[in-house]
């Protein structure tokens, strides 16, 4: 039951990435594109977290009543969670930049259509 | 552990933050930006080679104080030699590349501060953050740390374009950041797969795990990781299919911004390309894939440059075509080939910066970059025209300038590797590069001035002329004494074979 929960989580991460790529490539509305891009980032983050899951694992805090051997064998791997925290921050920054650009472009072109805004550019 | 190693990254970041804070104080911004830009290329010359472990956490094998008392479960296994902390490695190749990047950053900042009436702390912040990110990418032996700075460098480039106030800059910036939000997470997914298979994000430890059979080298998950990391590499490097957006990015930035952005691109390409070679070179098709993509970049970019009418786009495509030479050198996989590729990267970064700042004087005087509307600039600024012509000759590989040496080495490497066809293609495309450059040079400088063209009387700042002369001197020095760079780059190349 525990294994299938991890598998389900991987499947969800994969679905988020695929849905996000579809939205980013095929939807015309810029906000929907950006939501799709956020899905891709979230899917990758979920993938990493799921990878760090250990059945029966404990939180990686070494308490006084533990032995080093027992701790090394049962603690879950902390690295994926540290990576995801940084990745979430990066995702938030790029999301803010994209949304800021969309606000300015919406004011200029009075539209959220990617084909109109991004396709209109002529040098 | 040399304390100067992290200073190479911390100094520009700290300076960037102060410049952003002190944005309205013009004099302080100018002084701080110039001082930081001056110090940046000096630090790598003073830094000793070695590794820096963040937090002081060296591998247990080097840290007997912590290793004492640990169970054999840890000390008797590979955990004893693995790197627990983020590691920065500084060697001779990093010294050359960071020095050159520092030089380009100095002249880009110097030109930017003198060509604008009011220095912008925010613009300087973006330039220094991008420079710091690329320095970190060159130093980092931790693949996730590399990804973090990869994303910061992408954001800095977008910011430099947004700050340029060129027509359609916001649209180009949005396109680039949208593509970055596909390529970046896919690069992270590749890193996650590497982490899942090897249990490490330290590149040295990943290579150890693969080479010593701790993981199955033919594991299909590793192949998928290679594909995803390569996709991120293509985005960061501006190789196909990202060559059009990268060229657009160059054309929408101010000339000094474009000079810096192209340097970021070149060194990101080298850093990630070297990592792909380090980890995946045991797969024979990895080098073939690098050569194939580089050939495509060479052919596509240079042919696209021929049809452009905006000189910034022409330069952008020519610069991306030159990346193809770098990739071919790396993909050949021999010591001479990789050394030639790395040397070409160093030369190309300088020459393209030279060209962008040189042609930027045309934009400064005429406020247009459309070659159809330009002409007669030779008679207004004959000295700058001569400098730009020399930069073009350098790019084409004319002796005694620097790119002649690196392109000659590349051709020799392709002959040595038994692929003379690559050498022929490189020679032919060098000729096409030169023809494209001369076409642009003729239309801007030599043909009669169109009557409707207005050439303003603004005097080109001395700072710009100094930058151009300095770049020419560097091109001459590296052209006459290539061993200054190649002897330092060869160590890295040998370690990759």
Query: Is B185 in Cβ contact with A17 (below 8 Å)?
Result: yes
Q: Quick one: DSSP state of residue B121? A: H
Query: Is A33 in Cβ contact with B310 (below 8 Å)?
Result: no
Q: Which of A41, A83, A93 sits opposite B185 (nearest CB)?
A: A41
**CB of A123 less than 8 A from some CB of B:** yes
Residues of chain B contacting A43 with CB distance shorter than 8 Å = 185
Residues of chain A contacting B174 with CB distance shorter than 8 Å = 30, 98, 101-102, 105, 117-118
Residues of chain A contacting B195 with CB distance shorter than 8 Å = 48, 51, 79-80, 83
Query: Is A118 in Cβ contact with B174 (below 8 Å)?
Result: yes
Average pLDDT over residues A53-65: 86
On whether residue A109 sits in a domain, the answer given is yes
Question: What distance in Å separates the CA atoms of residue A93 and residue A100, rounded to the nearest whole number?
Answer: 11
The pLDDT tens digits for B474-485 are 999 999 999 999
**CB of B60 less than 8 A from some CB of A:** no
Question: What distance in Å separates the CA atoms of residue B495 and residue B483, rounded to the nearest whole number?
Answer: 18
Q: Is the pLDDT of residue B285 over 50?
A: yes
Find the residue in A nearest to B192 (Cα).
A48
Find the residue in B nearest to A22 (Cα).
B182
Task: Quickly state the pLDDT bin for B296 (edges 50, 70, 90).
Answer: very high
Query: Is A80 in Cβ contact with B195 (below 8 Å)?
Result: yes
Q: Which of B71, B155, B182 sits opposite A97 (nearest CB)?
A: B155
Range 119-138 of B in CB contact (< 8 A) with A: none
**CB of B71 less than 8 A from some CB of A:** yes
On whether residue A72 sits in a domain, the answer given is yes
Residues of chain B contacting A86 with CB distance shorter than 8 Å = 144, 148
Query: Is A17 in Cβ contact with B175 (below 8 Å)?
Result: no
Q: Is-cis flag, bond preceding B400, omega within 30? A: yes
Query: Is A87 in Cβ contact with B162 (below 8 Å)?
Result: no
Phi, psi dihedral angles at A58 (to 5 degrees): -110, 165
Average pLDDT over residues B255-284: 94
**Which carries the bigger pLDDT value, residue B146 or residue A120?**
B146
The pLDDT tens digits for B407-445 are 999 999 999 999 999 999 999 999 999 999 999 999 999
**CB of A47 less than 8 A from some CB of B:** yes
Query: Minimal CA–CA distance to B323: which of B413, B398, B403, B402?
Result: B403
Q: Which of A17, A72, A79 sits opposite B73 (nearest CB)?
A: A72
Range 340-369 of B in CB contact (< 8 A) with A: none
Average pLDDT over residues B54-73: 83
On whether residue A42 sits in a domain, the answer given is yes
Task: Quickly state the pLDDT bin for B251 (edges 50, 70, 90).
Answer: very high
Quick one: residue B370, left, alpha or beta (phi over 0 = left, psi -120 to 50 = alpha)? Answer: beta
Quote the pLDDT of residue A123: 44
The pLDDT tens digits for B218-240 are 999 999 999 999 999 999 999 98
Question: What distance in Å separates the CA atoms of residue B247 and residue B310, rounded to the nearest whole number?
Answer: 11
Range 64-93 of A in CB contact (< 8 A) with B: 68-69, 72-73, 77, 79-80, 83, 86-87, 90, 93
On whether residue A123 sits in a domain, the answer given is no
Question: What distance in Å separates the CA atoms of residue B460 and residue B357, rounded to the nearest whole number?
Answer: 11
Residues of chain A contacting B170 with CB distance shorter than 8 Å = 101, 104-105, 108
Find the residue in B nearest to A121 (Cα).
B168
What is the DSSP code string of B10-55?
HHHHHHHHHHHHTTT-HHHHHHHHHHHHHHHHHHHHHPPSEEEEGG
* pTM of the predicted protein model: 0.94
Query: Is A51 in Cβ contact with B192 (below 8 Å)?
Result: yes
Quote the pLDDT of residue B288: 92
Task: Quickly state the pLDDT bin for A121 (edges 50, 70, 90).
Answer: low
Q: Across-strand partners of B399?
A: none
How many structural domains is chain A composed of? 1
Query: Is A40 in Cβ contact with B185 (below 8 Å)?
Result: yes
What is the DSSP code string of B279-304?
HHTTSHHHHHHHHHHHHHHHHHHHHH
The pLDDT tens digits for B485-496 are 999 999 999 998
A·B CB contacts under 8 A: 100
On whether residue A122 sits in a domain, the answer given is no
Q: Is the pLDDT of residue A3 over 80?
A: no
Helix, strand, coil tally for chain B in percent (to 5): 80, 5, 20
* Buried b / exposed e along B479-496 (16+ C-beta atoms within 10 A): beebeebbebbbebbeeb
Query: Which range of residues forms the domain containing residue A26?
Result: 2-117
Q: Is the pLDDT of residue B381 over 90?
A: no
Q: Is the pLDDT of residue B312 over 60?
A: yes
Min Cα distance B128 → chain A (Å) is: 18
On whether residue A94 sits in a domain, the answer given is yes
The pLDDT tens digits for B87-144 are 999 999 999 999 999 999 999 999 999 888 778 889 999 999 999 999 999 999 999 9
Query: Which among B188, B199, B231 is the top mutation candidate for probing chain A, defined by the most A β-carbons within 10 Å of its own β-carbon?
Result: B188
The pLDDT tens digits for B168-184 are 999 999 999 999 999 99
* Continuous H helices in B333-401: 335-366, 377-380, 382-396
**Which carries the bigger pLDDT value, residue B2 or residue A7?**
A7
On whether residue A9 sits in a domain, the answer given is yes
**CB of A4 less than 8 A from some CB of B:** no
Q: Is the pLDDT of residue B359 over 70?
A: yes
- What CATH number should be reported for the domain holding residue A112? 1.10.287.3510
Q: Which of B171, B195, B196 sits opposite A118 (nearest CB)?
A: B171
Question: What distance in Å separates the CA atoms of residue B263 and residue B352, rounded to the nearest whole number?
Answer: 8
Q: Which of B151, B178, B199 sits opposite A24 (nearest CB)?
A: B178
Q: Is the pLDDT of residue A74 over 90?
A: no
Query: Is B151 in Cβ contact with A94 (below 8 Å)?
Result: yes
Question: What distance in Å separates the CA atoms of residue B316 and residue A71, rounded to the nearest whole number?
Answer: 55
Question: What distance in Å separates the CA atoms of residue B242 and residue A106, rounded to the nearest whole number?
Answer: 25
* Torsional sign, CA B333, B339, B342, B347: negative
Residues of chain B contacting A117 with CB distance shorter than 8 Å = 171, 174
Average pLDDT over residues B33-46: 95
Quote the pLDDT of residue A88: 97
Query: Is B181 in Cβ contact with A123 (below 8 Å)?
Result: no
**Which carries the bigger pLDDT value, residue B171 or residue B79?**
B171
């Amino acid at each position: 039951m525990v294994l299938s929960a991890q598998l389900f989580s991987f499947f969800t991460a994969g679905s988020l990435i695929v849905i996000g790529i579809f939205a980013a490539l095929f939807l015309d509305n810029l906000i929907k594109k950006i939501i799709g891009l956020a899905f891709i980032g979230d899917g990758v983050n979920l993938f990493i977290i799921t990878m760090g899951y250990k059945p029966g694992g404990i939180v990686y805090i070494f308490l006084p009543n533990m032995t080093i051997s027992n701790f090394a064998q049962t603690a879950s791997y902390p690295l994926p969670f540290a990576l995801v925290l940084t990745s979430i921050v990066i995702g938030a920054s790029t999301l803010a930049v994209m949304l800021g650009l969309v606000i300015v472009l919406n004011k200029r072109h009075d539209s959220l259509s990617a084909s109109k805004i991004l396709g209109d550019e002529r040098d | 552990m040399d304390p100067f190693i992290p200073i190479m990254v911390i100094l520009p970041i700290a300076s960037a933050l102060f410049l952003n804070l002190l944005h309205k104080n013009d004099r302080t911004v100018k002084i701080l930006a110039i001082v930081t830009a001056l110090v940046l290329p000096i630090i790598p010359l003073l830094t000793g080679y070695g590794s820096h472990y963040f937090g002081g956490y060296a591998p247990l094998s080097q840290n007997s104080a912590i290793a004492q008392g640990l169970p054999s479960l840890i000390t008797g296994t590979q955990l004893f030699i693995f790197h627990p902390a983020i590691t920065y490695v500084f060697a001779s190749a990093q010294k050359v590349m960071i020095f050159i990047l520092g030089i380009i950053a100095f002249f880009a900042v110097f030109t930017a501060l003198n060509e604008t009436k009011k220095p912008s702390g925010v613009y300087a912040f973006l330039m220094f953050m991008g420079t710091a990110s690329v320095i970190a990418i060159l130093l980092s032996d931790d693949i996730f740390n590399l990804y973090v700075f990869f994303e910061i460098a992408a954001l800095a480039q977008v910011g430099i374009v947004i700050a340029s106030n060129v027509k359609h800059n916001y649209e180009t910036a949005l396109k680039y950041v949208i593509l970055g939000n596909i390529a970046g997470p896919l690069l992270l997914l590749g890193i996650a797969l590497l982490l899942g298979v090897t249990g490490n994000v330290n590149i040295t430890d990943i290579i150890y795990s693969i080479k010593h059979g701790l993981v199955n080298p033919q594991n299909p998950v590793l192949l998928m990781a290679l594909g995803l990391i390569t996709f991120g590499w293509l985005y960061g490097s501006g190789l196909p299919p990202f060559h059009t957006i990268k060229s657009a990015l160059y054309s929408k930035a101010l000339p000094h911004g474009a000079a810096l952005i192209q340097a970021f691109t070149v060194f990101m390409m080298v850093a990630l390309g070297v990592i792909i070679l380090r980890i995946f070179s045991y797969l024979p098709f990895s080098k073939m894939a690098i050569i194939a993509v580089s050939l495509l970049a060479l052919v596509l970019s240079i042919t696209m440059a021929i049809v452009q009418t905006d000189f910034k786009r022409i330069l952008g495509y020519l610069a991306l075509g030159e990346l193809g030479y770098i990739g071919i050198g790396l993909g050949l996989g021999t010591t001479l080939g990789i050394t030639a590729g790395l040397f070409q990267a160093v030369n190309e970064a300088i020459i393209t910066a030279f060209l962008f700042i040189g042609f930027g004087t045309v934009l400064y005087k005429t406020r247009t970059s459309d070659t159809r509307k330009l002409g007669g600039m030779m008679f207004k600024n004959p000295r700058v025209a001569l400098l730009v012509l020399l930069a073009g000759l350098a790019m084409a590989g004319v002796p005694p300038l620097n790119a002649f040496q690196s392109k000659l080495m590349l051709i020799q490497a392709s002959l040595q590797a038994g692929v003379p066809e690559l050498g022929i293609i490189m020679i032919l495309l060098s000729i096409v590069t030169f023809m494209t450059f001369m076409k642009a040079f003729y239309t801007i400088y030599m043909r009669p001035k169109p009557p409707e063209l207005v050439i303003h009387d603004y005097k080109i700042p001395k700072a710009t002329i100094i930058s151009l002369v300095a770049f020419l001197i560097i091109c001459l020095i590296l052209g006459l004494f290539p061993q200054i760079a190649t002897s330092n780059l060869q160590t890295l190349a040998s370690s990759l074979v």
